[in-house]
Chains A and B, each alone.
Chain A
Amino acid sequence: MSAMLEVRNVARAFGGVKALNGVNLAVEKGSITGLIGPNGSGKTTLFNVMTGYVSPDAGTVTFNGKDITAARPNAVFAMGIGRTFQMTRIFSRITVLENMLVATQRPESWLRGLTRSMSSPEELETAMEWLKFVGLDGKSHLEAGSLSYGQRKLLELAYVLVANPDVIMLDEPAGGVNLTLINEIGEKIQALNEQGKTFLVVEHNMEFVMKICHTVTVMHQGRDLCSGPPAEVRSNPAVLDAYLGGGDDDEDEEVPA
Protein backbone atom coordinates (compact mmCIF):
# COMPACT_ATOMS: atom_id res chain seq x y z
CA MET A 1 0.00 0.00 0.00
CA SER A 2 2.62 2.51 -0.99
CA ALA A 3 0.32 4.37 -3.32
CA MET A 4 0.35 8.14 -2.88
CA LEU A 5 -3.22 8.60 -4.03
CA GLU A 6 -5.62 5.74 -3.65
CA VAL A 7 -9.27 5.18 -4.49
CA ARG A 8 -11.02 2.22 -2.90
CA ASN A 9 -14.45 0.84 -3.85
CA VAL A 10 -15.87 4.20 -4.76
CA ALA A 11 -19.47 4.23 -5.92
CA ARG A 12 -21.61 7.11 -7.08
CA ALA A 13 -25.00 7.07 -8.74
CA PHE A 14 -26.77 9.93 -10.50
CA GLY A 15 -30.42 8.97 -10.28
CA GLY A 16 -30.55 5.48 -11.71
CA VAL A 17 -27.23 5.75 -13.50
CA LYS A 18 -24.38 4.12 -11.64
CA ALA A 19 -21.55 6.32 -12.88
CA LEU A 20 -19.12 4.69 -10.48
CA ASN A 21 -19.73 1.19 -9.23
CA GLY A 22 -16.91 0.14 -6.92
CA VAL A 23 -13.87 1.53 -8.65
CA ASN A 24 -10.31 1.12 -7.37
CA LEU A 25 -7.31 3.13 -8.45
CA ALA A 26 -3.79 3.54 -7.15
CA VAL A 27 -1.40 6.30 -8.17
CA GLU A 28 2.20 5.61 -7.16
CA LYS A 29 4.39 8.48 -6.11
CA GLY A 30 6.50 9.75 -8.96
CA SER A 31 4.53 7.92 -11.65
CA ILE A 32 2.54 8.98 -14.66
CA THR A 33 -0.62 6.95 -14.34
CA GLY A 34 -3.06 6.77 -17.21
CA LEU A 35 -6.79 6.36 -16.78
CA ILE A 36 -8.58 5.22 -19.90
CA GLY A 37 -11.95 3.80 -20.78
CA PRO A 38 -14.80 4.25 -23.22
CA ASN A 39 -17.01 7.35 -23.09
CA GLY A 40 -19.31 7.19 -20.10
CA SER A 41 -17.15 4.76 -18.17
CA GLY A 42 -16.90 7.19 -15.24
CA LYS A 43 -13.44 8.71 -15.61
CA THR A 44 -14.46 12.33 -15.14
CA THR A 45 -16.86 11.44 -12.33
CA LEU A 46 -13.97 9.69 -10.61
CA PHE A 47 -11.89 12.85 -11.04
CA ASN A 48 -14.71 14.88 -9.53
CA VAL A 49 -14.97 12.53 -6.57
CA MET A 50 -11.22 12.56 -5.98
CA THR A 51 -11.04 16.38 -6.03
CA GLY A 52 -14.08 16.94 -3.83
CA TYR A 53 -16.48 18.29 -6.45
CA VAL A 54 -18.75 15.25 -6.09
CA SER A 55 -19.18 13.27 -2.90
CA PRO A 56 -19.26 9.50 -3.32
CA ASP A 57 -22.08 7.25 -2.09
CA ALA A 58 -19.54 4.72 -0.85
CA GLY A 59 -15.81 4.10 -0.78
CA THR A 60 -12.79 6.14 0.22
CA VAL A 61 -10.15 8.35 -1.32
CA THR A 62 -6.82 8.58 0.51
CA PHE A 63 -3.88 10.85 -0.14
CA ASN A 64 -0.57 10.07 1.59
CA GLY A 65 -2.48 7.79 3.94
CA LYS A 66 -4.98 10.50 4.88
CA ASP A 67 -8.68 10.11 4.18
CA ILE A 68 -9.77 12.95 1.90
CA THR A 69 -13.11 11.49 0.82
CA ALA A 70 -15.15 14.30 2.36
CA ALA A 71 -12.72 17.17 1.68
CA ARG A 72 -13.95 20.19 -0.28
CA PRO A 73 -12.24 21.12 -3.58
CA ASN A 74 -10.31 23.99 -1.98
CA ALA A 75 -9.04 21.72 0.78
CA VAL A 76 -8.00 19.04 -1.71
CA PHE A 77 -6.10 21.65 -3.67
CA ALA A 78 -4.47 23.01 -0.54
CA MET A 79 -3.19 19.51 0.28
CA GLY A 80 -1.38 19.42 -3.03
CA ILE A 81 -3.65 17.90 -5.64
CA GLY A 82 -4.18 20.10 -8.68
CA ARG A 83 -6.42 19.26 -11.60
CA THR A 84 -7.52 20.47 -14.99
CA PHE A 85 -10.95 20.05 -16.52
CA GLN A 86 -12.03 18.27 -19.67
CA MET A 87 -13.91 21.35 -20.82
CA THR A 88 -11.12 23.80 -20.18
CA ARG A 89 -11.96 26.27 -17.46
CA ILE A 90 -10.08 29.51 -17.22
CA PHE A 91 -11.07 32.91 -15.85
CA SER A 92 -11.89 34.57 -19.12
CA ARG A 93 -12.33 38.22 -18.10
CA ILE A 94 -9.07 38.67 -16.25
CA THR A 95 -5.61 38.61 -17.79
CA VAL A 96 -3.53 35.51 -18.38
CA LEU A 97 -1.14 36.59 -15.64
CA GLU A 98 -3.98 37.20 -13.18
CA ASN A 99 -5.24 33.69 -13.96
CA MET A 100 -1.89 32.41 -12.80
CA LEU A 101 -1.99 34.49 -9.62
CA VAL A 102 -5.34 33.06 -8.50
CA ALA A 103 -3.65 29.71 -7.96
CA THR A 104 -0.54 30.98 -6.19
CA GLN A 105 -2.41 31.54 -2.94
CA ARG A 106 -2.48 27.84 -2.12
CA PRO A 107 -0.56 28.03 1.18
CA GLU A 108 -2.39 31.09 2.52
CA SER A 109 -5.37 31.52 4.78
CA TRP A 110 -8.27 33.47 3.25
CA LEU A 111 -7.84 36.45 5.57
CA ARG A 112 -4.35 37.05 4.21
CA GLY A 113 -5.89 37.87 0.84
CA LEU A 114 -7.48 40.99 2.30
CA THR A 115 -4.27 42.54 3.45
CA ARG A 116 -1.89 41.75 0.66
CA SER A 117 -1.57 42.89 -2.91
CA MET A 118 -2.50 40.70 -5.80
CA SER A 119 1.04 39.45 -6.27
CA SER A 120 4.48 39.57 -4.75
CA PRO A 121 7.55 39.98 -6.98
CA GLU A 122 8.49 36.34 -6.39
CA GLU A 123 5.01 35.16 -7.32
CA LEU A 124 5.10 37.23 -10.48
CA GLU A 125 8.43 35.72 -11.35
CA THR A 126 7.24 32.15 -10.77
CA ALA A 127 4.06 32.84 -12.71
CA MET A 128 6.04 34.21 -15.64
CA GLU A 129 8.40 31.22 -15.50
CA TRP A 130 5.52 28.80 -15.82
CA LEU A 131 3.95 30.87 -18.57
CA LYS A 132 7.24 30.70 -20.37
CA PHE A 133 7.31 26.95 -19.77
CA VAL A 134 4.04 26.58 -21.71
CA GLY A 135 4.98 29.31 -24.19
CA LEU A 136 2.41 31.89 -23.13
CA ASP A 137 4.75 34.47 -21.61
CA GLY A 138 4.17 36.83 -24.53
CA LYS A 139 0.45 36.85 -23.80
CA SER A 140 0.55 37.50 -20.07
CA HIS A 141 -1.26 40.85 -20.30
CA LEU A 142 -4.03 39.71 -22.64
CA GLU A 143 -7.50 38.95 -21.40
CA ALA A 144 -7.56 35.17 -20.99
CA GLY A 145 -10.81 34.96 -22.96
CA SER A 146 -8.92 35.96 -26.11
CA LEU A 147 -6.79 32.79 -26.05
CA SER A 148 -7.39 29.95 -28.48
CA TYR A 149 -8.57 26.55 -27.30
CA GLY A 150 -5.10 25.03 -27.27
CA GLN A 151 -3.66 28.03 -25.46
CA ARG A 152 -6.38 27.75 -22.85
CA LYS A 153 -5.37 24.12 -22.27
CA LEU A 154 -1.81 25.27 -21.74
CA LEU A 155 -2.85 28.11 -19.47
CA GLU A 156 -4.90 25.73 -17.37
CA LEU A 157 -1.92 23.41 -17.10
CA ALA A 158 0.34 26.34 -16.18
CA TYR A 159 -1.88 27.73 -13.44
CA VAL A 160 -2.29 24.33 -11.87
CA LEU A 161 1.49 23.96 -11.88
CA VAL A 162 2.18 27.40 -10.45
CA ALA A 163 0.74 26.28 -7.12
CA ASN A 164 3.38 23.54 -6.98
CA PRO A 165 1.06 20.59 -6.31
CA ASP A 166 2.45 17.11 -5.64
CA VAL A 167 -0.10 15.36 -7.80
CA ILE A 168 -1.43 16.77 -11.05
CA MET A 169 -4.62 15.32 -12.46
CA LEU A 170 -5.18 16.08 -16.12
CA ASP A 171 -8.54 15.48 -17.75
CA GLU A 172 -7.92 14.98 -21.47
CA PRO A 173 -4.92 17.26 -21.88
CA ALA A 174 -4.68 16.29 -25.55
CA GLY A 175 -8.39 16.58 -26.39
CA GLY A 176 -9.03 18.89 -29.32
CA VAL A 177 -5.39 19.89 -29.52
CA ASN A 178 -3.26 19.66 -32.66
CA LEU A 179 -0.55 17.04 -33.02
CA THR A 180 2.44 19.32 -32.47
CA LEU A 181 0.89 20.69 -29.31
CA ILE A 182 0.01 17.17 -28.09
CA ASN A 183 3.65 16.15 -28.37
CA GLU A 184 4.66 19.35 -26.65
CA ILE A 185 2.28 18.74 -23.75
CA GLY A 186 3.54 15.16 -23.51
CA GLU A 187 7.13 16.35 -23.33
CA LYS A 188 6.27 18.89 -20.67
CA ILE A 189 4.53 16.25 -18.58
CA GLN A 190 7.54 13.95 -18.86
CA ALA A 191 9.93 16.78 -17.99
CA LEU A 192 7.91 17.61 -14.87
CA ASN A 193 7.69 13.96 -13.96
CA GLU A 194 11.44 13.73 -14.01
CA GLN A 195 11.48 16.57 -11.51
CA GLY A 196 9.39 14.41 -9.21
CA LYS A 197 5.79 15.37 -10.01
CA THR A 198 3.15 12.66 -9.97
CA PHE A 199 0.56 12.63 -12.75
CA LEU A 200 -2.82 11.06 -13.26
CA VAL A 201 -3.97 11.48 -16.83
CA VAL A 202 -7.33 10.79 -18.43
CA GLU A 203 -6.93 10.60 -22.18
CA HIS A 204 -8.56 9.12 -25.26
CA ASN A 205 -5.49 9.49 -27.44
CA MET A 206 -4.00 5.98 -27.12
CA GLU A 207 -0.70 6.85 -28.68
CA PHE A 208 -0.26 9.65 -26.16
CA VAL A 209 -1.16 7.41 -23.21
CA MET A 210 1.06 4.54 -24.35
CA LYS A 211 3.96 6.90 -24.85
CA ILE A 212 4.00 8.78 -21.56
CA CYS A 213 2.31 6.56 -18.95
CA HIS A 214 4.07 4.13 -16.66
CA THR A 215 0.92 2.34 -15.63
CA VAL A 216 -2.55 2.44 -17.08
CA THR A 217 -5.86 1.68 -15.44
CA VAL A 218 -8.80 0.85 -17.66
CA MET A 219 -12.30 1.74 -16.55
CA HIS A 220 -15.47 0.19 -17.86
CA GLN A 221 -19.02 0.80 -16.67
CA GLY A 222 -17.95 2.47 -13.47
CA ARG A 223 -15.40 -0.19 -12.49
CA ASP A 224 -11.70 -0.67 -12.94
CA LEU A 225 -11.26 -3.44 -15.48
CA CYS A 226 -7.53 -3.96 -15.13
CA SER A 227 -4.32 -2.08 -14.61
CA GLY A 228 -0.70 -2.55 -15.46
CA PRO A 229 2.04 -1.35 -17.79
CA PRO A 230 0.75 0.09 -21.10
CA ALA A 231 1.96 -2.79 -23.27
CA GLU A 232 0.33 -5.35 -21.01
CA VAL A 233 -2.95 -3.48 -20.85
CA ARG A 234 -3.01 -2.99 -24.58
CA SER A 235 -2.93 -6.71 -25.22
CA ASN A 236 -5.41 -7.64 -22.50
CA PRO A 237 -8.36 -9.27 -24.27
CA ALA A 238 -10.90 -7.92 -21.79
CA VAL A 239 -9.70 -4.40 -22.51
CA LEU A 240 -9.87 -4.89 -26.24
CA ASP A 241 -13.35 -6.20 -25.85
CA ALA A 242 -14.60 -3.34 -23.68
CA TYR A 243 -12.66 -0.42 -24.96
CA LEU A 244 -11.90 -1.07 -28.57
CA GLY A 245 -15.15 -2.85 -29.30
CA GLY A 246 -13.72 -6.31 -29.93
CA GLY A 247 -10.55 -7.60 -31.59
CA ASP A 248 -9.82 -8.15 -35.26
CA ASP A 249 -11.30 -11.63 -35.24
CA ASP A 250 -14.65 -10.37 -34.05
CA GLU A 251 -14.71 -7.66 -36.63
CA ASP A 252 -14.09 -10.16 -39.37
CA GLU A 253 -17.02 -12.15 -38.20
CA GLU A 254 -19.26 -9.14 -38.10
CA VAL A 255 -18.56 -8.24 -41.71
CA PRO A 256 -21.43 -9.64 -43.76
CA ALA A 257 -20.35 -12.07 -46.42
Chain B
Amino acid sequence: MATTPRPLFARPVTWVWVVAALLTLTFPLYETNPAYQQIGVYTLIFTACATSWNMFSGYSGYVNLGAGVSYGTGAYTLAIIAKHLYPNNEQAGGELFWLILLSGLAAMIVAIPIGMIALRVRRHTFVVITIAIFFTFQLAAINFSFTGGTGGLFLPYIPWSASYFDIPFLYVAMAIVFFAITLSALVRRSRFGLQLLAIRDDEDRALGLGVQVAKVKLTGYVMSAFTIGMCGGLFAMLQGQIYPQFVFDPLFDISIALMCFFGGFGTLVGPIIGAVVLESGQQYLTVQYSNGSLYLILFGALFLFVILFMPQGIVVFVRQKAKQRNDRRIAAAAAVGGAQ
Protein backbone atom coordinates (compact mmCIF):
# COMPACT_ATOMS: atom_id res chain seq x y z
CA MET B 1 0.00 0.00 0.00
CA ALA B 2 2.90 2.32 0.65
CA THR B 3 3.30 4.78 -2.20
CA THR B 4 6.78 4.89 -3.64
CA PRO B 5 8.24 8.37 -3.15
CA ARG B 6 8.69 10.42 -6.29
CA PRO B 7 12.19 11.60 -7.19
CA LEU B 8 13.22 14.74 -5.33
CA PHE B 9 12.91 17.11 -8.28
CA ALA B 10 9.60 15.73 -9.46
CA ARG B 11 7.91 16.94 -6.29
CA PRO B 12 6.35 20.41 -6.40
CA VAL B 13 7.35 21.00 -2.80
CA THR B 14 11.04 20.79 -3.73
CA TRP B 15 10.57 23.64 -6.19
CA VAL B 16 8.76 25.72 -3.60
CA TRP B 17 11.83 25.35 -1.38
CA VAL B 18 14.20 26.19 -4.25
CA VAL B 19 12.26 29.31 -5.25
CA ALA B 20 11.95 30.44 -1.63
CA ALA B 21 15.68 29.97 -1.12
CA LEU B 22 16.52 31.90 -4.31
CA LEU B 23 14.16 34.74 -3.42
CA THR B 24 15.75 34.94 0.01
CA LEU B 25 19.34 34.82 -1.23
CA THR B 26 18.79 37.55 -3.84
CA PHE B 27 16.73 39.73 -1.50
CA PRO B 28 19.32 42.57 -1.22
CA LEU B 29 19.46 42.75 -5.05
CA TYR B 30 15.81 43.59 -5.58
CA GLU B 31 15.23 45.36 -2.29
CA THR B 32 17.75 48.14 -1.77
CA ASN B 33 15.84 50.26 0.70
CA PRO B 34 17.69 49.84 4.04
CA ALA B 35 14.46 50.13 5.99
CA TYR B 36 13.00 47.15 4.16
CA GLN B 37 16.27 45.27 4.29
CA GLN B 38 16.14 45.60 8.03
CA ILE B 39 12.64 44.16 7.99
CA GLY B 40 14.23 41.25 6.15
CA VAL B 41 16.76 40.74 8.94
CA TYR B 42 14.07 40.79 11.61
CA THR B 43 11.96 38.37 9.63
CA LEU B 44 14.90 35.99 9.26
CA ILE B 45 15.71 36.24 12.96
CA PHE B 46 12.15 35.35 13.85
CA THR B 47 12.08 32.56 11.28
CA ALA B 48 15.12 30.98 12.90
CA CYS B 49 13.74 31.47 16.41
CA ALA B 50 10.29 30.09 15.57
CA THR B 51 11.82 27.13 13.75
CA SER B 52 14.06 26.14 16.63
CA TRP B 53 11.39 26.88 19.23
CA ASN B 54 9.15 24.52 17.30
CA MET B 55 11.92 21.94 17.10
CA PHE B 56 11.54 21.46 20.83
CA SER B 57 8.11 22.75 21.83
CA GLY B 58 6.28 21.75 18.66
CA TYR B 59 7.68 18.24 18.56
CA SER B 60 7.52 17.50 22.28
CA GLY B 61 4.37 19.47 23.13
CA TYR B 62 6.16 21.34 25.92
CA VAL B 63 5.07 24.92 25.22
CA ASN B 64 7.96 27.07 26.36
CA LEU B 65 6.91 30.65 26.99
CA GLY B 66 10.34 31.57 28.29
CA ALA B 67 12.34 31.36 25.08
CA GLY B 68 13.22 34.99 25.67
CA VAL B 69 15.66 33.76 28.31
CA SER B 70 17.81 32.26 25.57
CA TYR B 71 17.36 35.30 23.33
CA GLY B 72 18.31 37.76 26.05
CA THR B 73 21.18 35.62 27.30
CA GLY B 74 22.55 35.52 23.75
CA ALA B 75 22.22 39.28 23.37
CA TYR B 76 23.88 40.07 26.69
CA THR B 77 26.65 37.55 26.12
CA LEU B 78 27.59 39.22 22.87
CA ALA B 79 27.35 42.72 24.31
CA ILE B 80 29.43 41.90 27.39
CA ILE B 81 32.13 40.05 25.49
CA ALA B 82 32.32 42.81 22.88
CA LYS B 83 32.67 45.37 25.66
CA HIS B 84 35.71 43.51 26.96
CA LEU B 85 37.22 43.08 23.52
CA TYR B 86 36.81 46.77 22.68
CA PRO B 87 37.19 48.46 26.08
CA ASN B 88 37.77 51.93 24.63
CA ASN B 89 34.89 51.92 22.18
CA GLU B 90 37.09 51.15 19.19
CA GLN B 91 35.35 50.63 15.91
CA ALA B 92 34.43 47.07 15.14
CA GLY B 93 33.60 45.17 11.99
CA GLY B 94 32.40 41.86 10.66
CA GLU B 95 34.58 39.91 13.08
CA LEU B 96 31.93 40.60 15.73
CA PHE B 97 29.69 38.09 13.95
CA TRP B 98 31.85 35.24 15.29
CA LEU B 99 30.75 36.13 18.80
CA ILE B 100 27.27 34.97 17.84
CA LEU B 101 28.48 31.41 18.31
CA LEU B 102 29.38 32.25 21.89
CA SER B 103 25.90 33.74 22.33
CA GLY B 104 24.43 30.42 21.30
CA LEU B 105 26.78 28.54 23.58
CA ALA B 106 25.95 30.74 26.57
CA ALA B 107 22.22 30.29 25.93
CA MET B 108 22.74 26.54 25.89
CA ILE B 109 24.64 26.54 29.16
CA VAL B 110 21.95 28.67 30.81
CA ALA B 111 19.27 26.36 29.41
CA ILE B 112 20.70 23.27 31.12
CA PRO B 113 19.76 24.09 34.75
CA ILE B 114 16.49 25.74 33.65
CA GLY B 115 15.54 22.67 31.68
CA MET B 116 16.44 20.38 34.55
CA ILE B 117 14.03 22.28 36.78
CA ALA B 118 11.20 23.21 34.42
CA LEU B 119 11.02 19.92 32.51
CA ARG B 120 10.15 18.03 35.65
CA VAL B 121 6.60 19.31 35.32
CA ARG B 122 4.21 19.09 32.40
CA ARG B 123 1.67 21.08 30.45
CA HIS B 124 0.26 24.16 32.16
CA THR B 125 2.66 23.97 35.04
CA PHE B 126 5.59 23.88 32.64
CA VAL B 127 4.26 26.93 30.79
CA VAL B 128 3.83 28.88 34.01
CA ILE B 129 7.30 27.96 35.27
CA THR B 130 8.96 29.02 32.01
CA ILE B 131 7.20 32.38 32.24
CA ALA B 132 8.30 32.78 35.87
CA ILE B 133 11.91 31.95 35.02
CA PHE B 134 11.76 34.40 32.12
CA PHE B 135 10.75 37.28 34.38
CA THR B 136 13.44 36.31 36.87
CA PHE B 137 15.97 36.82 34.10
CA GLN B 138 14.46 40.13 33.06
CA LEU B 139 14.63 41.33 36.65
CA ALA B 140 18.21 40.11 36.95
CA ALA B 141 19.21 42.02 33.82
CA ILE B 142 17.64 45.16 35.23
CA ASN B 143 19.30 44.83 38.62
CA PHE B 144 22.78 43.43 38.04
CA SER B 145 25.62 45.84 37.38
CA PHE B 146 27.41 43.78 34.73
CA THR B 147 24.33 44.05 32.51
CA GLY B 148 24.34 47.83 32.76
CA GLY B 149 20.99 47.80 34.57
CA THR B 150 18.18 49.78 33.01
CA GLY B 151 20.73 51.85 31.09
CA GLY B 152 21.59 48.79 29.07
CA LEU B 153 24.80 48.16 27.18
CA PHE B 154 26.27 49.73 24.06
CA LEU B 155 28.05 47.67 21.48
CA PRO B 156 31.14 48.76 19.55
CA TYR B 157 30.27 51.01 16.63
CA ILE B 158 30.39 49.36 13.23
CA PRO B 159 31.31 52.02 10.64
CA TRP B 160 29.41 50.66 7.64
CA SER B 161 27.46 52.93 5.30
CA ALA B 162 23.69 52.92 5.62
CA SER B 163 23.18 51.34 2.20
CA TYR B 164 25.56 48.47 3.02
CA PHE B 165 24.94 48.02 6.74
CA ASP B 166 22.10 45.49 6.62
CA ILE B 167 23.53 43.24 3.93
CA PRO B 168 26.03 41.32 6.09
CA PHE B 169 23.30 40.96 8.71
CA LEU B 170 20.96 39.56 6.09
CA TYR B 171 23.41 36.86 5.09
CA VAL B 172 24.40 35.93 8.62
CA ALA B 173 20.71 35.69 9.50
CA MET B 174 20.14 33.52 6.43
CA ALA B 175 22.92 31.21 7.58
CA ILE B 176 21.26 30.90 10.99
CA VAL B 177 17.89 30.23 9.35
CA PHE B 178 19.46 27.57 7.16
CA PHE B 179 21.06 26.01 10.22
CA ALA B 180 17.77 26.08 12.15
CA ILE B 181 15.71 24.55 9.34
CA THR B 182 18.30 21.88 8.59
CA LEU B 183 18.57 20.96 12.25
CA SER B 184 14.81 20.83 12.65
CA ALA B 185 14.45 18.65 9.54
CA LEU B 186 17.22 16.32 10.71
CA VAL B 187 15.69 16.04 14.15
CA ARG B 188 12.31 15.26 12.60
CA ARG B 189 13.87 12.37 10.68
CA SER B 190 15.99 11.07 13.55
CA ARG B 191 15.20 8.58 16.22
CA PHE B 192 15.57 11.44 18.69
CA GLY B 193 12.80 13.36 16.92
CA LEU B 194 10.56 10.33 17.00
CA GLN B 195 11.14 10.13 20.73
CA LEU B 196 10.12 13.78 21.11
CA LEU B 197 6.91 13.10 19.15
CA ALA B 198 6.23 10.05 21.31
CA ILE B 199 6.67 12.23 24.40
CA ARG B 200 4.15 14.69 22.97
CA ASP B 201 1.54 11.98 22.47
CA ASP B 202 2.04 10.01 25.69
CA GLU B 203 5.09 10.62 27.83
CA ASP B 204 4.46 7.81 30.32
CA ARG B 205 3.94 5.28 27.58
CA ALA B 206 7.16 6.43 25.91
CA LEU B 207 8.97 5.94 29.21
CA GLY B 208 7.58 2.42 29.38
CA LEU B 209 9.00 1.75 25.92
CA GLY B 210 12.48 2.62 27.06
CA VAL B 211 12.61 6.26 25.97
CA GLN B 212 14.78 8.14 28.45
CA VAL B 213 12.33 11.01 28.52
CA ALA B 214 14.20 13.29 30.91
CA LYS B 215 17.39 13.25 28.85
CA VAL B 216 15.58 13.50 25.54
CA LYS B 217 13.54 16.50 26.68
CA LEU B 218 16.56 18.27 28.12
CA THR B 219 18.59 17.70 24.96
CA GLY B 220 15.82 19.11 22.77
CA TYR B 221 15.37 22.10 25.04
CA VAL B 222 19.08 22.91 25.10
CA MET B 223 19.46 22.45 21.34
CA SER B 224 16.65 24.87 20.68
CA ALA B 225 18.23 27.39 23.06
CA PHE B 226 21.41 27.43 20.97
CA THR B 227 19.82 28.88 17.84
CA ILE B 228 17.63 31.29 19.77
CA GLY B 229 20.72 32.49 21.64
CA MET B 230 22.55 33.11 18.36
CA CYS B 231 19.59 35.15 17.14
CA GLY B 232 19.72 37.18 20.34
CA GLY B 233 23.38 37.94 19.69
CA LEU B 234 22.67 39.00 16.12
CA PHE B 235 19.82 41.20 17.28
CA ALA B 236 22.13 42.92 19.78
CA MET B 237 24.65 43.67 17.02
CA LEU B 238 21.96 44.99 14.73
CA GLN B 239 20.57 47.29 17.41
CA GLY B 240 23.97 48.53 18.61
CA GLN B 241 22.60 48.85 22.12
CA ILE B 242 20.46 46.62 24.31
CA TYR B 243 18.09 47.16 27.21
CA PRO B 244 16.66 44.53 29.54
CA GLN B 245 13.07 45.05 28.43
CA PHE B 246 13.91 44.75 24.73
CA VAL B 247 16.00 41.59 24.77
CA PHE B 248 14.11 39.96 27.65
CA ASP B 249 10.84 40.87 26.00
CA PRO B 250 7.65 38.99 26.93
CA LEU B 251 6.26 39.89 23.50
CA PHE B 252 9.11 37.88 21.98
CA ASP B 253 8.06 34.78 23.92
CA ILE B 254 4.48 35.14 22.82
CA SER B 255 5.30 36.11 19.24
CA ILE B 256 7.32 33.04 18.38
CA ALA B 257 4.77 30.75 20.01
CA LEU B 258 1.98 32.43 18.04
CA MET B 259 3.97 32.20 14.82
CA CYS B 260 4.22 28.46 15.28
CA PHE B 261 0.56 28.02 16.17
CA PHE B 262 -0.40 30.22 13.24
CA GLY B 263 1.69 28.37 10.68
CA GLY B 264 1.36 24.88 12.08
CA PHE B 265 2.54 23.70 15.50
CA GLY B 266 4.90 20.74 15.26
CA THR B 267 5.35 20.96 11.47
CA LEU B 268 8.59 21.91 9.76
CA VAL B 269 7.19 24.60 7.45
CA GLY B 270 4.58 26.03 9.79
CA PRO B 271 6.92 28.20 11.87
CA ILE B 272 8.56 29.54 8.71
CA ILE B 273 5.25 30.63 7.25
CA GLY B 274 4.13 32.00 10.60
CA ALA B 275 7.31 34.02 11.08
CA VAL B 276 7.46 35.34 7.52
CA VAL B 277 3.82 36.43 7.47
CA LEU B 278 3.58 37.82 10.98
CA GLU B 279 7.00 39.40 11.48
CA SER B 280 7.30 41.03 8.07
CA GLY B 281 3.66 42.10 8.31
CA GLN B 282 4.19 43.66 11.68
CA GLN B 283 7.38 45.45 10.67
CA TYR B 284 5.89 46.63 7.41
CA LEU B 285 2.83 48.10 9.09
CA THR B 286 5.00 49.80 11.68
CA VAL B 287 7.32 51.33 9.06
CA GLN B 288 4.59 52.19 6.56
CA TYR B 289 2.10 53.80 8.88
CA SER B 290 4.52 54.67 11.69
CA ASN B 291 1.89 53.26 13.96
CA GLY B 292 3.22 50.67 16.40
CA SER B 293 -0.19 49.42 17.44
CA LEU B 294 -2.00 48.99 14.15
CA TYR B 295 -0.61 45.49 13.73
CA LEU B 296 -2.03 44.44 17.08
CA ILE B 297 -5.57 45.03 15.82
CA LEU B 298 -4.98 43.32 12.49
CA PHE B 299 -3.20 40.39 14.10
CA GLY B 300 -5.96 40.00 16.63
CA ALA B 301 -8.46 39.64 13.81
CA LEU B 302 -6.16 37.30 11.90
CA PHE B 303 -5.70 35.05 14.90
CA LEU B 304 -9.42 34.86 15.53
CA PHE B 305 -9.84 33.80 11.94
CA VAL B 306 -7.12 31.15 12.10
CA ILE B 307 -8.26 29.74 15.43
CA LEU B 308 -11.86 29.55 14.26
CA PHE B 309 -11.27 28.05 10.83
CA MET B 310 -7.91 26.30 10.98
CA PRO B 311 -7.13 25.57 14.62
CA GLN B 312 -4.11 23.40 13.77
CA GLY B 313 -2.48 26.13 11.73
CA ILE B 314 -2.22 26.92 8.05
CA VAL B 315 0.04 24.04 7.06
CA VAL B 316 -2.08 21.30 8.59
CA PHE B 317 -5.24 22.92 7.19
CA VAL B 318 -3.86 23.01 3.65
CA ARG B 319 -2.57 19.43 3.94
CA GLN B 320 -5.92 18.16 5.09
CA LYS B 321 -7.73 19.93 2.25
CA ALA B 322 -5.26 18.53 -0.28
CA LYS B 323 -5.67 15.05 1.13
CA GLN B 324 -9.46 15.29 1.05
CA ARG B 325 -9.35 16.38 -2.57
CA ASN B 326 -6.97 13.58 -3.42
CA ASP B 327 -9.13 11.01 -1.62
CA ARG B 328 -12.24 12.24 -3.44
CA ARG B 329 -10.42 11.94 -6.75
CA ILE B 330 -9.33 8.39 -5.97
CA ALA B 331 -12.85 7.52 -4.83
CA ALA B 332 -14.33 9.04 -7.98
CA ALA B 333 -11.85 7.15 -10.17
CA ALA B 334 -12.65 3.94 -8.32
CA ALA B 335 -16.40 4.53 -8.81
CA VAL B 336 -15.92 5.06 -12.52
CA GLY B 337 -13.69 2.00 -12.76
CA GLY B 338 -16.24 -0.08 -10.85
CA ALA B 339 -19.09 1.00 -13.12
CA GLN B 340 -17.33 -0.17 -16.23
Contacts and interface: CB of A to CB of B under 8 A. Distances in A.
B143 interface: no
17 contacts: A73-B208, A74-B209, A74-B213, A78-B210, A89-B204, A90-B201, A90-B202, A90-B205, A91-B201, A92-B202, A94-B201, A98-B194, A101-B194, A102-B195, A102-B198, A108-B191, A112-B191
A163 B210 contact: yes
B320 to A, nearest CB: 11
Contacts of B219: 110, 114
Interface in B176-203: 189-195, 197-198, 200-202
A115 B195 CA distance: 13
A62 interface: no
B191 A118 contact: yes
Given A110-B212, A114-B191, A163-B210, 20 more contacts: A53-B204, A72-B207, A73-B207, A74-B207, A74-B210, A74-B212, A76-B208, A90-B202, A91-B197, A98-B197, A101-B194, A102-B209, A103-B210, A108-B191, A110-B211, A113-B190, A113-B191, A113-B216, A118-B189, A159-B209
Contacts of A141: 1-2
Interface of A: 51, 53, 72-74, 76-78, 82-83, 85, 89-94, 98, 101-103, 105-106, 108, 110, 112-119, 138, 140-141, 159-160, 163
A110 B215 CA distance: 7
Given A74-B212, A103-B210, A106-B210, A91 B202 contact: yes
Interface of B: 1-2, 189-195, 197-198, 200-202, 204-213, 215-216, 219
Contacts of B197: 91, 93-94, 98
B209 A163 contact: yes
Contacts of B208: 51, 53, 73-74, 76-77, 83
A110 B202 contact: no
B209 A140 contact: no
B59 to A, nearest CB: 11
B2 A140 contact: yes
Given A77-B208, A103-B210, A118 B215 contact: no
A105 B2 contact: no
Contacts of B201: 90-94
Contacts of A78: 210
Given A53-B208, A74-B212, A159-B209, A116 B190 contact: yes
Contact of A113 (B195, B200, B204, B205): B195
Given A74-B210, A103-B210, A141-B2, A89 B205 contact: yes
A140 B2 CA distance: 8
Nearest to B188: A118
Nearest to A103: B209
A101 B193 CA distance: 12
A52 B195 CA distance: 20
Contacts of B190: 113-118
Nearest to A128: B2
Contacts of B206: 91, 102
A98 B194 CA distance: 7
Contact of A89 (B192, B202, B213): B202
Which of B195, B200, B213 is the most central at the interface, judged by chain A CB atoms within 10 Å of its CB?
B195
A105 B211 CA distance: 8
A163 B208 CA distance: 12
Nearest to A91: B201
Contacts of B207: 72-74
A74 B215 CA distance: 12
A141 B4 CA distance: 12
A117 B189 contact: yes
A107 to B, nearest CB: 9
Contact of A94 (B1, B194, B204): B194
